[in-house]
Amino acid sequence: MKKVIVVGAGLGGLSAAIKLAHHGFDVSVLEKEESCGGKLCSVELGDYQFDLGPSTITLKHVFDNVFKSVGRDPQDYLTFYPIEKGTRNFFKDGHVVDFSNDVEHVQTQISAFSEADANNYPLFLDEAKRLYTISDRQFFSQLMYPLSTKLSPSLLKDFIKIKPLTTLNTLVESYFEHPNTRMLFNRYATYIGSSPYQAPMIFGMMAHLEGGQGIWGVEGGSYQIVRAFERLARELGVEFFMEHEVENTIQKGNRIVGVQANGQTFAADYVVFNADALTVYQNLLKHHPLNRKLEKKEVSLSGFAMLLGINKTYPELEHHNVFFPKEYTQEFKAIFKDKQVPEEPTIYICQSSVSEPKRAKEGGGNLFILINAPYLSSNLTWNEETKEKMMQRVINQLESYGLDGLSTRIDEQYCMTPKDIETRTGAFKGSLYGLSSNTIKQAFFRIENKDPVLSNVYFAGGSTHPGGGTPMVTLSGQLVASDIIGIYGTIHTDT
């Protein structure tokens, strides 16, 4: 039986472990934390429950397929529910847009500030769907490392169709004239940790995921996906070693034949790293020839997160909420050029207690608040003073939007800085998505899932193909597992 070591128990690693175990591989997962999930974890503060990490769920079928592909019913493990109102977007001029898959309702709300933009919205959705269809066909269904794939006539033809030299902002401006509408759709670049003024227009496809297909919640919170994957993996015989941080790799020729953690050596026929690939190369593959090239690359933005348990309900808040600044370009100049937190950042709030009141005390709310922040550099030092300053800046900004008295309503609070993200998750420089997508090369040719030098080493997760976000990292694990299975086939079928 072939032995696979999965380093890291995020959704990508769990997804790969499930598929490999089902196909007869002997799989062990080594995780440095005491629980699974990576950047997605569950936090309880007094009477309040939070998900710390990704919270907007799209592409529900990707998660369902993990269960169906091994002969299980996803409904036995998870309960998804549609979030009908989508995401509520607040603009400085007082307008509000609930962005959902109700096209006519979205048009009506946009028409309050721009009839022309409202009329163009269905056309933009058509373009977003076209971009998604190409992405699904070319990028979500296969690994990109084989030369035959990179040079396939089909890929090259589709690559021309997605206009890789055109930025997301240029695409958005070609359909919309009002600053509100432009901010609404330019924000999708931040889903992959990048700037809409530099990232390619392909990421406009996300408007189709949310505005065409709709978004979902998970009963009990997004972390239930992690718990369900872990449960399924254990049922299939995957062995877990928690609080086992890999300290070294054992290399023979062009193979990693084992990893060392907690004084133990774990032999491996294959190693799947479900950790930030940049961190893996820097810490565990220090002499790899890729290191010199990778250290010069720009990484994605990071984030500053706050968890607030509040003893009040604000009726203007929905499950998902975004508060936009007056001027958007300043945010990306601050983050990527000055490497500072914007003076007036865009603020995202997930209040899952709107959909599941039991996740907060009666009459209260569980606010997961996230702002974009620069990756770690010498330009900004994160300490207690910085942390307090950022928390106050965000609270003041929210109060200016109408969340009156927020600072007096806080029962519980916790925050996480880019430095905390680096420490807890191993994210390189605290970045959320590995390399940024601010250049064509970094957007379309991410760190490869299969190492080009080490023949038995793979990567799964947000820092590699097909990208960040819960569906994409889940897909990366499935694709990596399929590649390994393709070498040996199914070893046995009695699971």
Mean pLDDT of the chain: 96
Q: Both 204 and 239 in a single domain?
A: no
Could you tell me the two tokens for 364? Answer: 């209260």
* Helical H segments across 139-178, by residue range: 147-150, 153-161, 168-175
Q: Both 321 and 357 in a single domain?
A: yes
Amino acid at 399: E
- State residue 493's pLDDT score: 47
485 phi/psi in degrees, rounded to 5: -60, -35
Q: Taking residues 28-51, what's their average pLDDT?
A: 96
In a domain, 33, yes or no: yes
Q: Both 351 and 455 in a single domain?
A: no
Can you name the residues that pair with 259 across neighbouring β-strands?
249, 266
- State residue 299's pLDDT score: 96
Q: Both 318 and 401 in a single domain?
A: yes
Q: Both 291 and 331 in a single domain?
A: no
* pLDDT band, very low/low/confident/very high, at 492 (cuts 50, 70, 90): low
Task: Measure the CA–CA gap between 23 and 493, rounded to whole angstroms.
Answer: 6
Does the pLDDT at position 495 exceed 50? Answer: no
Q: Taking residues 310-314, what's their average pLDDT?
A: 96
Q: 3-state DSSP call for residue 453?
A: coil
Domain boundary among 193, 213, 233: 213
Does the pLDDT at position 126 exceed 90? Answer: yes
Q: Both 293 and 305 in a single domain?
A: no
Residue length, the chain? Answer: 495
What is the CB neighbour count within 10 angstroms for residue 211? 25
In a domain, 130, yes or no: yes
In a domain, 430, yes or no: no
Element (H, E) at 251: strand 246-252
Q: Both 255 and 316 in a single domain?
A: no
* pLDDT tens-digit readout, 83-96: 999 999 999 999 99
pTM for the full predicted model:
0.96
CB neighbour list of residue 27: distance below 8 Å, 6 or more residues apart: 3, 4, 6, 17, 20, 21, 233, 237, 238, 239
Task: Measure the CA–CA gap between 443 and 400, rounded to whole angstroms.
Answer: 36
In this structure, the dihedral spanned by the alpha carbons of residues 481, 485, 491 and 495, taken in order and rounded to 10 degrees, is: 40
* Count of alpha carbons within 13 angstroms of residue 410, beta-carbon side: 16
Q: Both 347 and 249 in a single domain?
A: no
* pLDDT tens-digit readout, 214-255: 999 999 999 999 999 999 999 999 999 999 999 999 999 999
* pLDDT tens-digit readout, 362-400: 999 999 999 999 999 999 999 999 999 999 999 999 999
Terminal alpha carbon distance of the chain: 14
- State residue 2's pLDDT score: 95
Query: Alpha carbon of 213 to those of 102, 125, 196, 210, 413: distances in Å?
Result: 10, 11, 22, 6, 34
Percent of residues, the chain, with pLDDT higher than 90: 93
In a domain, 239, yes or no: yes
CATH number, domain at 234?
A: 3.50.50.60
Q: 3-state DSSP call for residue 248?
A: strand
Q: 3-state DSSP call for residue 152?
A: coil
Q: Taking residues 346-368, what's their average pLDDT?
A: 97
CB 224 within 8 A of CB 218: yes
* pLDDT band, very low/low/confident/very high, at 340 (cuts 50, 70, 90): very high
Does the pLDDT at position 32 exceed 90? Answer: yes
Task: Measure the CA–CA gap between 396 and 400, rounded to whole angstroms.
Answer: 6
Residue 18: which domain range? 3-38+221-297+439-488
Task: Give me the number of domains the chain comprises.
Answer: 3
Task: Measure the CA–CA gap between 90 and 467, rounded to whole angstroms.
Answer: 28
Task: Measure the CA–CA gap between 420 and 304, rounded to whole angstroms.
Answer: 9
57-87: string of b/e by CB count within 10 Å (b at 16+)? bbbbebbbbbbebbebebeebbebeebebbb
Query: Alpha carbon of 35 to those of 8, 40, 154, 419: distances in Å?
Result: 10, 10, 42, 20
In a domain, 88, yes or no: no
Task: Measure the CA–CA gap between 95 and 114, rounded to whole angstroms.
Answer: 11
CB neighbour list of residue 315: distance below 8 Å, 6 or more residues apart: none
CB 201 within 8 A of CB 208: no
Q: 3-state DSSP call for residue 347?
A: strand
In a domain, 105, yes or no: no
Q: Both 308 and 292 in a single domain?
A: no
Question: What is the pairing mode between strands 3-7 and 270-273?
Answer: parallel
Task: Measure the CA–CA gap between 283 and 281, rounded to whole angstroms.
Answer: 6
- State residue 55's pLDDT score: 87
In a domain, 286, yes or no: yes
Can you name the residues that pair with 350 across neighbouring β-strands?
320, 368
Task: Measure the CA–CA gap between 439 and 420, rounded to whole angstroms.
Answer: 27
Q: Both 257 and 308 in a single domain?
A: no
Q: Both 154 and 235 in a single domain?
A: no
Does the pLDDT at position 494 exceed 60? Answer: no
In a domain, 34, yes or no: yes
What DSSP character marks residue 300?
P
Q: Both 207 and 124 in a single domain?
A: yes
* pLDDT tens-digit readout, 442-470: 999 899 999 999 999 999 999 999 999 99
CATH number, domain at 150?
A: 1.10.405
